[in-house]
Amino acid sequence: MEGAVVRAVRAVVVLVVGGVLTAGLVGCTSSAQEPPGLTASPTVSATPTPEPTDDTAAVEAAILDVYYRYWAATVAAQRGNPDPTLFADNTRGLLVEEELATARQYVDLGISREGEPTISNVVVEADDEAAEVWACVDNSTWVVPEAQGELVGVLPTGLHLEFVDGAWFVTDYVSPPVDFTC
């Protein structure tokens, strides 16, 4: 249910941004570039335990690696490169199609985002088969040139990951807990 709400909110944001940009952009060009890397200053914290084990640290590291590869793929896609292979090693399920649909819509509208989101206050909750990563995502550094209106700032964002065939994959957006603040 929460994933559906987050997807619905994202769809509204995409439609609003697309409508505003369609009205406000003239002669916008797109350059499909791979992102140089996400700007991030993660503060990783798992469910409080007395002493984290090496296994816990390794699982968190693997989850965060996939988490940041998902964001790198999303940034590249929204810079004008709606290539499914960007998500092949980090995302599964309907989320891949949603991200590619957004990227294709941006290409069709002549939109190419510049910069990249800044990610902070990263929290990982995981068990053997699933994980959630919550973070503060600052979208003010990931913009559409010449867009008019108020910039979207820092938003609490969550992603659900699943352990499939020996690897972690992002599978859905989730709402962070109500006490998670940015």
Residue 12: its pLDDT value, please? 32
Residue 30: its pLDDT value, please? 38
The answer, yes or no, to whether residue 40 has pLDDT greater than 70, is no
Determine the average pLDDT of the residues in 118-141: 95
The answer, yes or no, to whether residue 138 has pLDDT greater than 80, is yes
Determine the average pLDDT of the residues in 22-35: 37
What is the H or E stretch that residue 114 is in? Answer: strand 114-115
The answer, yes or no, to whether residue 22 has pLDDT greater than 60, is no
Determine the average pLDDT of the residues in 5-28: 35
Looking at the domain 2-7+38-47+54-174, which fold is it? Nuclear Transport Factor 2; Chain: A, (3.10.450)
d(CA 53, CA 58): 9
The answer, yes or no, to whether residue 9 has pLDDT greater than 90, is no
- Which residues, in sequence order, are CB contacts of 11 under 8 Å at separation 6+? none
Per the DSSP assignment, residues forming a β-bridge with 124 are: 133
The answer, yes or no, to whether residue 19 has pLDDT greater than 50, is no
d(CA 142, CA 159): 19
The answer, yes or no, to whether residue 157 has pLDDT greater than 60, is yes
Q: What is the pLDDT of residues 58-91, one digit of tens each?
A: 999 999 999 999 999 999 999 999 999 999 999 9
pTM over 0.75: no
Residue 102: its pLDDT value, please? 95
Residue 119: its pLDDT value, please? 97
Residue 153: its pLDDT value, please? 83
Domain extents for the chain? 2-7+38-47+54-174
Residues in the chain: 182
The answer, yes or no, to whether residue 105 has pLDDT greater than 80, is yes
Residue 11: its pLDDT value, please? 37
> If you average pLDDT over every residue of the chain, what do you get?
78
